[in-house]
């Protein structure tokens, strides 16, 4: 969280429009979404005992 917020601050101070930073964050958040989708599809052994 610290790295993420500091990077956002750095980008804004380097004149990157804050809207672009928001879009970048939204896009990057999709990476863990994809990883989680993969975990759901192929759960690690003993990950979700039913």
In the complex, the residues that contact another protein under the rule CB under 8 A are: 1-10, 12-13, 18-23, 25-33, 35-37, 39-40, 44-50
Residue 27 CB, nearest distance to another protein (Å)? Answer: 7
E runs forming strands in the chain: none
Residue 37 CB, nearest distance to another protein (Å)? Answer: 6
Residue 18 CB, nearest distance to another protein (Å)? Answer: 5
Cβ atoms of residues 43 and 37 within 8 Å: no
d(CA 33, CA 21): 19
């Amino acid at each position: 969280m610290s790295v993420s917020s500091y990077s956002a601050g750095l980008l804004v101070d380097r004149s990157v429009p804050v809207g672009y930073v928001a879009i970048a964050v939204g896009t990057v958040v999709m990476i863990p979404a994809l990883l989680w989708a993969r975990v759901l599809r192929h759960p690690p052994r003993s990950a979700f005992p039913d």
